[in-house]
């Protein structure tokens, strides 16, 4: 019986350590996820700015084409002026030139406005690009560090699982099941010490006779309050 109790205690110790290692692994994974999420956020901002810039450039190029057309109209009309014979026709062509020039001027104002927005968006994108590059470099380095520690952590977990399976194998099937059930139902603590008459799992007082019987070690007992398996260490 003493041997089984010792096995259970060893198993509990291993499982508690395994939980710590598993938490370490989860922390590492979460950190990597957070780093990647931040990079994704920056990349989305850069992409969205690039999209806006591309739309504006398309609009600007339409304005530039329209202006080239108007300038062509101005030149063509002005070219006709020397050949004009009548005053009426002359005035009409001058009016055409005037209208085309005015349109050109409006178009140029439109192009200038687009240029101004483009300039500010490009500056914004350049800044985000820089931020992204710097963050990506840092995140990559940190992810590599975490990856390296994950290798060690995973190796440790595999070794622990192997050890755990071997330890479980040594327990009678019934006790093994009881242990596993308690592990899942009692927050990963299946066997606890009873000290000063109380269960250290739930901190409830045990019946005195039961507490005293724990030192005799003739059978493995459970806390009547939390059902955890109990062991007692004789005071020094
Ligand atoms: Zn208890």
Tell me the two tokens of residue 155: 């190796």
Euclidean distance between CA atoms 69 and 148, whole angstroms:
63
- What is the value of pTM for the model shown? 0.71
25 and 132 in a single domain? The answer is yes
CA of 14 to the centre of ligand 1 (A): 20
125 and 225 in a single domain? The answer is no
Examine the fold and report which residue of 122, 157, 192 is the final residue of a domain before the chain moves on: 157
Examine the fold and report which residue of 106, 124, 157 is the final residue of a domain before the chain moves on: 157
Number of domains in the chain: 2
Give the domain CATH number at 42: 1.10.287
CA of 68 to the centre of ligand 1 (A): 88
CA of 229 to the centre of ligand 1 (A): 8
Euclidean distance between CA atoms 227 and 220, whole angstroms:
12
* Ion ligand 1 residues within 5 Å by Cβ: 199, 201-202, 223, 225-226
Tens digit of each residue's pLDDT, the chain (236 residues):
688 999 999 999 999 999 999 999 999 999 999 999 999 999 999 999 999 999 999 999 999 999 999 999 999 999 988 998 999 999 999 999 999 999 999 999 999 999 999 999 999 999 999 999 999 999 999 999 999 999 999 999 999 999 999 999 999 999 999 999 999 999 999 999 999 999 999 999 999 999 999 988 778 999 999 999 999 987 76
- 179: number of Cβ within 10 Å: 20
130 and 195 in a single domain? The answer is no
The answer to the question of residue 167 being in a domain is no
Contact by Cβ (8 Å): 129, 46: yes
Task: Tell me which residue range forms the domain holding 185.
Answer: 176-231
Euclidean distance between CA atoms 184 and 179, whole angstroms:
9
With a CB cutoff of 8 Å and minimum separation 6, the contacts of 187 are none
The answer to the question of residue 87 being in a domain is yes
The answer to the question of residue 64 being in a domain is yes
197 and 130 in a single domain? The answer is no
CA of 178 to the centre of ligand 1 (A): 15
CA atoms within 13 A on the CB side of 187: 4
Angstrom distances, CA of residue 227 to CA of 41, 83, 172, 206? 49, 112, 19, 12
């Amino acid at each position: 019986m003493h041997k089984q109790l010792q096995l259970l205690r060893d198993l509990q110790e291993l499982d508690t350590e395994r939980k710590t290692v598993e938490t370490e692994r989860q922390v590492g994974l979460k950190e990597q996820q957070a780093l990647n999420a931040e990079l994704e956020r920056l990349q989305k901002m850069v992409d969205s700015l690039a999209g806006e810039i591309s739309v504006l450039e398309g609009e600007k190029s339409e304005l530039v084409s329209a202006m080239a057309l108007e300038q062509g109209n101005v030149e063509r009309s002005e070219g006709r002026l020397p050949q004009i014979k009548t005053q009426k026709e002359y005035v009409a062509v001058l009016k055409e030139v005037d209208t085309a020039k005015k349109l050109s001027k409006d178009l140029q104002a439109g192009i200038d406005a687009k240029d101004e927005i483009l300039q500010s968006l490009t500056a914004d994108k350049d800044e985000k690009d820089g931020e992204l590059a710097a963050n990506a470099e840092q995140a990559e380095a940190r992810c590599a560090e975490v990856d390296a520690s994950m290798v060690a952590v995973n190796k440790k977990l595999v070794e622990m699982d192997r050890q755990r399976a071997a330890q479980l194998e040594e327990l009678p099937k019934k006790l093994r099941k009881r242990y596993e059930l308690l592990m899942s139902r009692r927050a990963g603590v299946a066997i606890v010490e009873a000290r000063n008459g109380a269960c250290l799992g739930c901190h409830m007082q045990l019946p005195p006779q039961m507490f005293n019987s724990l030192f005799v070690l003739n059978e493995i007992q459970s806390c009547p309050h939390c059902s955890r398996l109990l062991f007692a260490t004789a005071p020094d």
